[in-house]
Amino acid sequence: MNKGELVDAVAERASVTKKQADAVLTAALDTIMEAVSNQDKVTLVGFGSFESRERKAREGRNPKTGEKMEIPATKVPAFSAGKLFKEKVAPSQADSEDEED
């Protein structure tokens, strides 16, 4: 699903226009990106958390030459799925057994 398809789905589910859904979705994503870039953690209960994480400096290799090189430390955005999201994607075995009965 791309952003356009997501906007269409949100507009339909929320009974708003596509233009309104796009504006809200864009504002929400921009706000999350801005908060994480300012070292804030954004937690959406049941969905997940967005945060900035430190990646340590490490040694790597140039794929063309095979030469060793130092990869500098950096900050990267990270997402951790919440419990409800994880359960929706991969229902537990107990849940699937209940459905078979």
pLDDT in tens, the chain (101 residues): 999 999 999 999 999 999 999 999 999 999 999 999 999 999 999 999 999 999 999 999 999 998 999 999 999 999 999 999 999 999 876 555 555 55
Residue 88 CB partners (closer than 8 Å, separation 6+)? none
Tell me the DSSP string of 13-75.
Answer: HHT--HHHHHHHHHHHHHHHHHHHHTT--EEETTTEEEEEEEE--EEEE-TTT--EEEEPPEE
According to CATH, what is the number of the domain 40-92?
4.10.520.10
pTM value surpassing 0.85:
no
Break the chain into its structural domains and give their ranges.
Answer: 1-38, 40-92
